[in-house]
Amino acid sequence: MNTRGLPIFARTFLVLLAALAVAYGIGIALLALREPPPAVRLSEVVALLSTRMPS
């Protein structure tokens, strides 16, 4: 694509769109590759819910 004939505002907009697409791709990759949080046992949940929490 020849961008020499485009005005500076159009070129800036295209660079902005490219940067947004790269940032979106990195965000999706980081979200997909992160480890899931550790599982919580049901007995721990019951113990936490049955204790009196200070208000």
- Determine the pLDDT at residue 6: 87
The pTM score is: 0.56
Residue 17 belongs to domain spanning: 8-50
What lies within 8 Å, CB to CB, of 11 at 6+ separation is: 3
- Determine the pLDDT at residue 51: 77
Encode pLDDT of 1-55 as tens digits.
Answer: 676 788 999 999 999 999 999 999 999 999 999 988 889 899 888 888 887 766 5
Report yes or no on 2 lying in a domain.
Answer: no
- Determine the pLDDT at residue 55: 54
Domains identified in the chain, total number: 1
- Determine the pLDDT at residue 25: 97
Report yes or no on 3 lying in a domain.
Answer: no
Report yes or no on 1 lying in a domain.
Answer: no
Report yes or no on 55 lying in a domain.
Answer: no
